[in-house]
Structure 1
């Protein structure tokens, strides 16, 4: 069944319950065999980070499509929005290593998306059917321009941002609708919009992007965030926040706040980012500090890959190195529990990676962490 129909069928019970999450698509689970335990204590290295990325590509990347499979069975291409996350991973791998092959992969993934997604035609409402799917690609296109200087990437990012903002932003009450039907204003579009706007502002110095970023973040801070605790809601439907915890929402809030802090030097943004990171560490993790095992055979397996990118923005751009031991513990746990034969990691860092079919989504997040977080020296 096509993902469009999966999305529509899955939305029915969610809407009836007054709850929406941008990443809950269910699939029939494939049988897996628990892997054999690997050493409980490891300290990953730069070479491990390279191996993890190469292994992920070996088992999950389609050279002919120039995009990623949904599973290690290699029978179908993964969800449209997750491809942008994998593109970010390629960029991060290149930044870490300066390996020319990885730069070529960055260019190839762009071509793969161009060919599969109607030349990045943002008006095609069959290819693009929810706003957050579009915004993940817009962010990645802008980042790819920053990395390569290719103006074609930037042109697509700017056109996409204009399209999404015009259709998603609510000029009357503020905030960003996640879907074309305007059923709810979700974190998965709100904080990525801020990140996209700030990235485009940093490239173009066009202050209209900065104004939009501040406006949207202000809505999100007041309607999708508990400033007392640091908790981030998944959605807000007609003024009612949906307090479900997903790591990507925590990550994009952190990323948006850090980017605004960098531009303004307003420590209130940094304080919010730290409060959200603290909440993630203290309330989303288990007693050992290990992040949740999101993605029970659905696309949520990719969520921690998004969180990885933005928690490291807080470390690097916000100067908050106190989070590094926690992040490294998660990486070491995941890498220690990898499937040794394939070198693949799993969405549940605390258990051995299954040796059977797994999704690219659930294999991705520890790899992403390893590209952006340097090992302990």
Structure 2
């Protein structure tokens, strides 16, 4: 794939704002561990950026993230947060290997294995398996969570692809088959947040699908499809995307949507701070959709190639609207509102989260633009 794109300069400007103002190389040392999921989420974006632009600009950020995060692998309060570190460690391992930074690669691989072990242990027999949301099983608010278990599947299948050790393939199959068997990935593609509290093993209707969760299964489902040749995984992944396009976009636009978007600008600043997590959701979905789109195109299957072009067109549409509505490259929550004078807040985590999602859709456009030009083959 060509690293040159019509979105390259815009993405570099937006990334520079993110990494010079709100997520510098020192930021992980300040955020982790009180906030344990935002750092690896943003680091996954930085890993993608280094691969796309063939540089090592954010290596120190990754190293500092590792140094800050590793001490909580066996003690962090939330398994769903831990699962994001598993994803970051496997992707970081691949980057460091490509850069010839062998010790860093070894460190990240060892931590990925440790995360997988923790998530494997956390998937007890209650409700037939699956990982809890919180580590504290006795917490009355705890429940078996889709994101934790999907994150285990992704960490495990990545480790299988790295090591070729079948135990990781079996871990990934166990995790994803549990999610599907519990209808947390419904037959229509909706990805629910989890089961009921404690031993209530029914899908929790008060934990509905969000756009980030619609993206999370795409990587492990695709890799399991490749590893097992079971087309049910591929069908489930396509259903996840198609359900999101029908239910998590602004009507008649194909523009990505979270439930907070329409009310964001009318809410007080304190409410926005308390809802900074969803600011990352469109970015998470963008990242997963881009790689899934590439996978479909590179399969060479004419039906999947046609679908990949549809998805690439949707990604382009979202990237274009973000650039049109935020010409200052400082991104806000609702991508569908013209905001030429958008200003950052006083909260760096909130700013970084908003900027992350805007940067993610621009990187997604860079990755998938060659599909629209038939350049991947």
Query: TM-score under structure 2 normalisation?
Result: 0.78
- In structure 1, C-alpha distance between the alignment counterparts of 2:136 and 2:321, rounded to whole Å: 41
1:339 Cα deviation after fit: 5.3
Deviation of 1:312 after TM superposition, in Å, equals 1.6
Please name the residue that 1:26 is paired with: none
Query: For the structure 1 residues 347 and 194, does the alpha-carbon distance in structure 2 shift closer, same or farther, using more than 3 Å as the test?
Result: same
How big is the shift at 1:292? 1.2
Which blocks of at least 5 consecutive residues in structure 1 are unaligned?
1-42, 71-75
Measure the CA separation in 2 of the matches of 1:78 and 1:349: 29
Match of 1:191 in 2: 150
Q: Which moved more, 1:217-226 or 1:265-274?
A: 217-226
Structure 1 residue 217 corresponds to structure 2 residue 176: yes
Q: Does 1:349 align with 2:332?
A: no
Residue 161 of structure 1: aligned partner: 116
Q: Report the counterpart of residue 48 of structure 1 in structure 2.
A: 10
Report how far residue 322 of structure 1 moved: 1.9
Instruction: Show CA shifts across 1:147-206 (max 9, x none).
Output: 112111101111121123213443771211121233211121111111110001100111
Alignment-derived partner of residue 109 in structure 1: 61
Alignment check: 8 A CA contact 2:120 2:171 kept: no
* DSSP 3-state at the match of 2:195: strand
The residue aligned with 2:302 is none
Aligned length: 319
- Cα deviation for residue 82 of structure 1 reads 1.0
Measure, in 2, the Cα distance between the counterparts of 1:77 and 1:162.
Answer: 20
CA–CA separation in structure 2 for the residues paired with 1:139 and 1:293 = 23
TM-score (norm 1): 0.78
Matching of residue 362 in structure 1 with residue 310 in structure 2: no
Q: Which has the higher contact order (CA 8 A, sep 6+)?
A: 1
Partner SS for 2:296: coil
Q: 2:94 aligns with which of 146, 153, 168?
A: 146
Runs of 4+ in 1 over 4 A off after TM superposition: none
More helix by share: 2
Determine the structure 2 residue equivalent to 1:9. none
The residue that corresponds to 1:268 in the other structure is: 232
> Structure 1 CA distance, aligned partners of 2:336 and 2:63?
36
